[in-house]
Amino acid sequence: MSQNIYDNPTFFAGYATLPRSVKGLDGAPEWPALRALLPDLQDKRVLDLGCGYGWFCRYAQQQGARDVLGLDVSEKMLAQAATMTQGTQIRYQRADLETLQLSESFDLAYSSLALHYLTNIDALFATLFKAITPGGALVFSCEHPIYTAPAQQQWIVDEHQQRSWPVNHYQQEGERISNWFADGVKKQHRKLSTWINAVIGAGFEIVHLDEWGPSEEMVALNPALAEERDRPMMFLLAARKPL
């Protein structure tokens, strides 16, 4: 069973203050790059893995998707998503992505910053490969292995106030504990090669990989993003199921 940290009241309250919670997709600086990886959504069947507040589900609806299914393990997230959503094209269901089974097919499977919580991505990618139609797409973002590698995920600052990000333990895959809004948040560290080979191993073809960082223009508009130019916090990956 996946850790359901989002139903922790302290974590949920903290998460609600994030720009990506308040402003939705426009509050996520990587969204333009992630959006560029998406196929045309007109009349498509879309699956959102770890849908949270349902921001992407509603975006897909606005882009003309025929049917959208948002899955999340958190009851609080799903309840919030339901209150923010109108229309019949979007369905929300509680599901544990660790043990996901799908009985319908989709043209796109999408996930934003959710899969690094999972211990068994091979099973998930195999399930998605079966469910995605030939020529369909898998597009997701995850925390970058450089970000997840260290036991203590924080900057090292030397006597000259120069920041360095530690990449110790990079080769040691497995659980990492993060204290983010609540203590004891469990994540899984994997090497970048492990992520890529899991996607390929399921049968997908890699289309694009982006070790995302903000542009100078983005930093000028939001100086807080400056540190994201010193190390990748996340990667974005697009893959397709062969015809």
pLDDT of residue 5: 58
109 HSE (CA, 13 A, CB side): 30
Produce one character per residue of 128-142: b if its CB has 16 or more CB atoms within 10 Å, e if not: bbebbeeebbbbbbb
Using the predicted structure, report yes or no on whether residue 194 has a pLDDT greater than 60: yes
pLDDT of residue 152: 85
Residue 169 tokens, joined: 């333990």
- Structural domains for the chain: 5-237 (3.40.50.150)
What is the arithmetic mean of pLDDT over 99-109?
97
Give the alpha-carbon dihedral of 53, 216, 63, 234, to 10 degrees.
Answer: -50
Confidence of residue 87 (pLDDT cuts 50, 70, 90): confident
pTM over 0.75: yes
Residue 50 CA to residue 213 CA, distance in Å, equals: 23
Q: Hey, which residues does 132 pair with through a beta bridge?
A: 106
pLDDT of residue 177: 85
Q: What is the pLDDT of residues 27-48, one digit of tens each?
A: 889 999 999 999 999 999 999 9
Instruction: Choose the weakest-confidence range: 119-133, 149-163, 195-209.
Output: 149-163
- Measuring CA to CA, which residue among 188, 187, 146, 152 is closest to residue 167? 146
Residue 157 CA to residue 163 CA, distance in Å, equals: 5
163 HSE (CA, 13 A, CB side): 10
Using the predicted structure, report yes or no on whether residue 77 has a pLDDT greater than 80: yes
Phi, psi of 57 (to 5 degrees): -60, -45
CB 115 within 8 A of CB 50: yes
Using the predicted structure, report yes or no on whether residue 136 has a pLDDT greater than 90: yes
Residue 33 CA to residue 38 CA, distance in Å, equals: 9
pLDDT of residue 124: 97
Using the predicted structure, report yes or no on whether residue 204 has a pLDDT greater than 70: yes
Produce one character per residue of 22-38: b if its CB has 16 or more CB atoms within 10 Å, e if not: eebbeebbbbebbeebb
pLDDT of residue 179: 67
